[in-house]
Homo-oligomer: A and B are copies of this chain.
Amino acid sequence: MNKRKATTLKEIAKKLDISISTASRALNNHPDISDATKEKVQQLAEKLHYSPNLFAQGFRTQRSHILGVIVPNIAHYFTSTILKGILKEAETKGYKVIVSESNNNENKQSEMLRTMSQFGVDGILLALSRKTTSVDSILNTLDTVPLVLFDKVSHKIPCTQVVVDEEIAAFNAIEHLINTGKKRIAIIKETENSFNSEKRFAGYLRALKEHNIEVDKKIILSTEDVSLYKGRMMTNILLSLKERPDAIFAITDTAAIGAIKALHKYNIKIPEEIAVVGFSNSIHATIIQPSLTTVDQPGEKIGKTAVMYLIKEIESNKNEITTKTVTVKTHLIVRDSSFKV
């Protein structure tokens, strides 16, 4: 690599026998510059493949045109879908995106927030790591650089948050089960302080209430991590009950798939005996047999809107923190695990 040095403003200025400042202003379309010289400069710049030295520019303006993204796990399908949306929108708005994984480690998350802000990103997009207990570091970076939360959020942090209509989604899912004649609907959820899980649980409760179905705590199961394995274990528990449920709503697709596997083992007919509904519309949903009814979350849209709000906040350089929750709509995808045609 011969690192042929890039053309600079100075060279352009010299060739056209004008000052560096006019060259700069001409390229930035400054009103003070005559159309004639603007034309000249822009043409020469084009010809010499001029592109501003991003460091000099960023150094001068303190704007990097870089967005930082921190997610718990990049290999999670839904997350990568969001990332897709983020990348796309950022690109069209002229921003680059640097991404980091917190691996659900709160300390690492704090560390990353710090290094990103001192790195000079213009804004940060953050999906909270599981069990983020101390929001101090986040509040800290919040008064250094604009930040918007998405997917995994917390109302303890005053900033704009982009989420999915978890409660309504869960409500619709449960109502769908009720409409297919199910009356005893179990739920596999996360333990307490998962924002998403609690919202979905609320939707579950509301649906039961509106349809006058009494809640039975025996079929409300909680677990630390809603994995495939835990999905199996939980349904094993459900199957051991005297009164088995006739449907299972798992807070997560992987848990739902675990449930299906457990039901398979006991040769229980899905959905006739027990229906299963998941949440996320993961890629597995159509792989598993029977195909899984689940809630589709528009990942790309989430990413896109998160970027939109972040950039809006960046470019209106008001120093006030806007705290606003944007909700993106989901929709239920009915497949064989809950209703066969």
Contacts and interface: CB of A to CB of B under 8 A. Distances in A.
Interface of A: 1-4, 6, 51, 53-56, 58-59, 62, 64, 66, 74-75, 77, 80-81, 83-84, 87-88, 91, 96-101, 118-120, 142-146, 257, 264, 283-284, 287-289, 319, 321
A1 B159 CA distance: 11
Contacts of A75: 77, 80-81, 83-84
Given A101-B87, A144-B4, A289-B289, A96 B119 contact: yes
Nearest to A69: B99
A74 B80 contact: yes
B55 A74 contact: no
Given A143-B2, A145-B1, A257 B287 contact: yes
Nearest to A257: B287
A236 to B, nearest CB: 18
Copies assembled:
2
Contact of A3 (B3, B91, B119, B319): B319
29 contacts: A1-B143, A1-B144, A4-B143, A4-B144, A51-B118, A55-B58, A55-B59, A55-B62, A59-B59, A66-B98, A74-B80, A75-B77, A75-B80, A75-B83, A77-B77, A87-B100, A88-B101, A91-B100, A96-B98, A97-B98, A97-B99, A97-B100, A98-B99, A99-B99, A283-B283, A284-B284, A287-B287, A287-B288, A288-B288
Contacts of A84: 74-75, 101
Nearest to A120: B54
A2 B287 contact: no
A54 B81 CA distance: 30
Nearest to A159: B1
Nearest to A146: B1
A313 B70 CA distance: 28
A101 B143 CA distance: 31
Contacts of A288: 287-288
Contact of A55 (B1, B91, B97, B120): B120
